[in-house]
Structure 1
């Protein structure tokens, strides 16, 4: 974010300043302002400084003055400001010549100017110049969409990269998608962007550049790898983005760091706007989803009405959808009381532009996932929901949740069917897949035709009556467990006895007794299947 000496002198604050020599170097870049009034002080300048001096060190030693000018030129310093009227009165002709020859600006500073005022003025010009280049004129649009905000984020990254002359990579932590400017720049590092972790397959050192903003420099021990600056952006205590500035062979300068801090503040403000938009948007989706799962949507005009002032939905509501239901079964925490935390945890995993969700009551979250003919969609969704469950448990503490997934429907108007299937997956699935927290309707197979209310009303009549004698037996618990394990062991007595830790003859005796009591033939495949189904829903029948 350097500023040219010419720009400094054009500012109204510096109207009383004059160029004594080296006018050909007014385009030199200033990255900082430094004081010089110690004999060997010039040895510690790094380059691109505008150096301020009273001239005391040079009043009787013009050769020393010349040597310093030559040294600073070689070091890459921007120029020197000197109070000519304090000690020198006149600048020696040979100094004028060497400054002109090297195009090294020598500037006269008025006698009464305080150093701090000069430094503050130069810093203000640099900062204001950067801000004016980064911040566009206020938009005339009546509404700003998330797309506009995301484009603004990229625009700031592009301009910052140009200003500090360094490639920059921005990575969205929630989606793990990265954007690099300039696009031609490629890094070959496998970056771990997890908050608080720096894991690389090489040795490195870590240095804090700005403690307040947690800006750090990572320097690989291998000189073939360039160092980089890592800048986290947090929103309400949660990491949302990481910026990586690739330093190459030259470290960032003072004004570069100021530019980075300003850009970081601007980006944090934009992410706050995105958050507010998405949180506002979510309230509308609550109503939309409730209408969809209740079958109240019969045309897309109603969908538009429910979207209200939301100009553009994140998903294409005319595409195919799968409905997922997350149900809280136990726990004192209600979903509606943890809305913000749930938005963060769920949306940090699910793809933003393919999912919309709403909290429809204290115990149920409904998610509509847009699909476009992708194979193995349910399998992929299950993998995502494993992470969602983990995040929910971290976020809302002691709370048991289960997930049911419906099948695809042609559009949002048909969402009720997929919702009913998701509920069926939850209701029936917990009996046939006791150990699963995530069940899809397609997992149920023929069990998907069952209706639990019919089982509870015993509409299946005598189909379940055969098991009744076992429920009345003195050792019903042992007998039922033996039957269950025997059937799960594919009617193999040896396998069942090993699982039950019983002698084979004991298992044979119990199975014989069960067949006698219940009047069933477990060698008959149909009878065996009927018995297995009965055992799946035994608790419900009881």
Structure 2
């Protein structure tokens, strides 16, 4: 019911609309009697206010202005003022405010009873609400029976189309896929949003968009309702109702409420099944690249089952996420949506590919024919740049390590190369970085020959002894050399006074008899500091 319809009810047949004609189509959800001015505490959107003017009688113009603006902000549909002994004429200021704010102002005489008005207004509203609830549970019952047939998503959409007589689409925003009862309605240009107030008994968040349907002939300009489907699988699903001829009504919203809940359950069921399959594949890929499958025949069968047997060349790409703020208490589960977006983009870009996902990383196996696979690196850079532009890495760095190209039975070797490259990335790079195993240079000597356990024999005994006896001074020396021998930069990184840094450096010169102009001596210390870091990381991983 709106205000225009309300004025036709028996108790209001002789009323006078004094102002606010532009709000004549305001919808009514309830009715209340004004007894106190704290309307922000009890007023509701769509409410009609009844008053004998008693509460407003002592307000000056500024106070009236403030009160009526609050009414507008709340969404009050109209105000009905009874003329009696307290007020014989409604002040011009109120008439003016109601016109400006498009709040219908209705005058009734003292013989009209509030009880009659309230019953006449609430009666149709109660009946309508009862009808909507009945519609909701009728649709719910039909969907319960439908669930027993285990329908496809497409079949479900066609059932909903029958109920509201409009085409329906469901889209996966993340994967850029969709299912629709009318594929011609897929390609749209969005012109803007139209305001929508959710009807009674609706829970989900609805949006109405004005669009141009580009594939129809001729092109159609119309509106569509969009509602996100909350989903545990981290994929962004949306349900779309195409309003080609007219907008949907409150009964259709009852269907949509059920539709979203029903689709939630169906998507959750499919997600549970997919997760079981996903975990099985994860375990198989993990065994394959970690050298836990020894029979070549078994390796061949696994590669064939994953569609990785078409070409002779293989390469492993490991993408790992690192927290930017090491002190922040971010749970690893927060990485999962990011990893899913990464692997979905990779699945679209690369055909012969399989992956393994863990809590903070995803490992890809590529299978290709070209011996020089430079296009892979360029494609990876483009994907990551695109994701970075969408601001999904605001809390994390990504570090990508790429193995050499290997043959099928050397996948464990390629996996070790990707892991070793990650070690170096983690130690020396605190930013988004893509690094190929071939770029490791001298570090490969220690990583390939497992010399990290005896790293001390590659370091000058003098430097090793100095680090053990003076760890604080060694740290200062390390930062000083990595800061281009700048006292100020070193002091800022170590949170020390520049004089303290200068004192420590002078002490280091004396203890080591060190000449900072001797590039050979400086190189020995810098190499030693990096080898110590590699050794420390290896020891941590072994615990």
Q: Report the secondary structure of 2:175's partner residue.
A: coil
Instruction: Specify the alignment match of 1:421 in structure 2.
Output: 417
Which of residues 243, 248, 251 in structure 2 aligns to 1:252? 248
Question: 1:511, CA displacement in angstroms?
Answer: 7.6
Which of residues 372, 378, 381 in structure 2 aligns to 1:379? 381
Instruction: Specify the alignment match of 2:206 in structure 1.
Output: 216
Are 1:531 and 2:521 an aligned pair? Answer: no
Q: Report the secondary structure of 2:183's partner residue.
A: coil
Instruction: Specify the alignment match of 1:445 in structure 2.
Output: 440
1:251/1:370 CA distance change after superposition, 3 Å: farther
Are 1:351 and 2:344 an aligned pair? Answer: yes
Question: 1:419, CA displacement in angstroms?
Answer: 1.7
Instruction: Specify the alignment match of 1:172 in structure 2.
Output: 172
Distance 1:522 1:179 in 2: 69
Under a length normalisation based on structure 1, what TM-score does the superposition of the two structures give?
0.51
Instruction: Specify the alignment match of 1:477 in structure 2.
Output: 472
Question: 1:269, CA displacement in angstroms?
Answer: 4.1
Larger mean Cα displacement after TM superposition, 174-183 or 274-283: 174-183
1:168/1:304 CA distance change after superposition, 3 Å: farther
Q: CA RMSD in A?
A: 5.9
Distance 1:516 1:342 in 2: 47
Instruction: Please list the CA deviations of residues 135-177 of structure 1 after superposition, one character each: whole Å capped at 9, or x if unmatched.
Output: 79969xxxxxxxxx9xx43454467558755454432144344
Q: Report the secondary structure of 2:227's partner residue.
A: strand
Contact 2:399–2:425 (8 Å) recurs in 1: no
Instruction: Specify the alignment match of 1:454 in structure 2.
Output: 451
1:378/1:135 CA distance change after superposition, 3 Å: same
1:127/1:365 CA distance change after superposition, 3 Å: closer
Which of residues 278, 281, 286 in structure 2 aligns to 1:282? 278
Contact 1:172–1:241 (8 Å) recurs in 2: yes
Distance 1:441 1:244 in 2: 44
Instruction: Please list the CA deviations of residues 51-79 of structure 1 after superposition, one character each: whole Å capped at 9, or x if unmatched.
Output: xxxxxxxxxxxxxxxxxxxxxxxxxxxxx
Contact 1:168–1:246 (8 Å) recurs in 2: yes
Distance 1:248 1:260 in 2: 17
1:181/1:188 CA distance change after superposition, 3 Å: farther
1:135/1:387 CA distance change after superposition, 3 Å: farther
Distance 1:390 1:377 in 2: 18
1:210/1:173 CA distance change after superposition, 3 Å: farther
Question: 1:184, CA displacement in angstroms?
Answer: 3.1
Distance 1:385 1:219 in 2: 26
Which of residues 232, 235, 239 in structure 1 aligns to 2:228? 232
Distance 2:226 2:182 in 1: 17
1:131/1:382 CA distance change after superposition, 3 Å: closer
Instruction: Specify the alignment match of 2:402 in structure 1.
Output: 406
Contact 1:485–1:500 (8 Å) recurs in 2: yes
Q: Report the secondary structure of 1:374's partner residue.
A: helix
Question: 1:540, CA displacement in angstroms?
Answer: 5.8
Instruction: Specify the alignment match of 1:189 in structure 2.
Output: 190
Question: 1:347, CA displacement in angstroms?
Answer: 2.7
Contact 2:321–2:335 (8 Å) recurs in 1: no
Q: Report the secondary structure of 1:427's partner residue.
A: helix
| TM alignment of 1:326-365, pairs within 5 A | 326=320, 346-347=339-340, 349-351=342-344, 353=347, 356-359=355-358
| TM alignment of 1:34-49, pairs within 5 A | none
Q: How many corresponding residue pairs?
A: 376
Distance 1:375 1:347 in 2: 20
Instruction: Please list the CA deviations of residues 18-52 of structure 1 after superposition, one character each: whole Å capped at 9, or x if unmatched.
Output: xxxxxxxxxxxxxxxxxxxx99xxxxxxxxxxxxx
Instruction: Specify the alignment match of 2:37 in structure 1.
Output: none
Mark the runs of 5 or more structure 2 residues left unpaired by the alignment: 1-8, 11-130, 212-219, 348-352, 369-374, 492-496, 537-543
Are 1:271 and 2:273 an aligned pair? Answer: no
Q: Report the secondary structure of 2:487's partner residue.
A: helix
Q: Report the secondary structure of 2:276's partner residue.
A: helix
Q: Report the secondary structure of 1:189's partner residue.
A: strand
Contact 2:399–2:433 (8 Å) recurs in 1: yes
Distance 2:171 2:146 in 1: 22
1:264/1:371 CA distance change after superposition, 3 Å: farther
Instruction: Specify the alignment match of 1:517 in structure 2.
Output: 512
Mark the runs of 5 or more structure 1 residues left unpaired by the alignment: 1-37, 40-118, 140-148, 191-201, 394-399
Instruction: Please list the CA deviations of residues 452-484 of structure 1 after superposition, one character each: whole Å capped at 9, or x if unmatched.
Output: 6524413644x433424643777x635652464
Q: Report the secondary structure of 2:190's partner residue.
A: coil
1:530/1:345 CA distance change after superposition, 3 Å: same
Question: 1:431, CA displacement in angstroms?
Answer: 3.1
Contact 1:326–1:404 (8 Å) recurs in 2: yes
Instruction: Please list the CA deviations of residues 243-288 of structure 1 after superposition, one character each: whole Å capped at 9, or x if unmatched.
Output: 1223245112466556545654553343133212211112312331
Distance 2:196 2:340 in 1: 31
Which of residues 193, 197, 207 in structure 2 aligns to 1:207? 197
Contact 1:326–1:366 (8 Å) recurs in 2: yes
Distance 1:488 1:266 in 2: 60
Contact 2:402–2:421 (8 Å) recurs in 1: yes
Instruction: Specify the alignment match of 2:427 in structure 1.
Output: 431
Contact 2:402–2:435 (8 Å) recurs in 1: yes
1:317/1:323 CA distance change after superposition, 3 Å: farther
Under a length normalisation based on structure 2, what TM-score does the superposition of the two structures give?
0.51
